Structure 1
Amino acid sequence: MLPDVRTLKEQLLRIRTFATVAELVEALGEFKRRYNERWRIGRHGHRPPSQVRRDLGGRVPAAA
């Protein structure tokens, strides 16, 4: 699951600069991992996206 664009901009892209595309790609990958494993989302009952997926047995929930 990917974060919405606003979250990505506010939490990564507006606060860091990147010297290379490779550095940006690495930072995006780390942000995605952190978001999926640790980010608590209210609409998911304050659970991280990875926990929601496990609870659903791998099924992707319908878009809100």
Structure 2
Amino acid sequence: MSTLHQVQLAEDGAVVVGRQELVFPNGDPVRRYARPVCRGPHIYLRTLRTLRQWWVLTAS
């Protein structure tokens, strides 16, 4: 499974403040992905099964 780590920057580094498992809209876990691109709260990725289809996941 793929895990999203939420971090907060501090004076001496970054501190993990939360973790979430990435899942597709149908509830299936994101196991393998290719070329993730992050823009703000959105994570764009395409799976190895569907190389022509991009998925957009939003971090809450």
Q: Same fold (TM over 0.5)?
A: no
TM-score, with structure 2 as normaliser:
0.27
- The structure showing larger relative contact order (alpha-carbon pairs under 8 Å, at least 6 residues apart) is 1
Structure number with higher strand proportion: 2
Structure number with higher helix proportion: 1
TM-score, with structure 1 as normaliser:
0.26
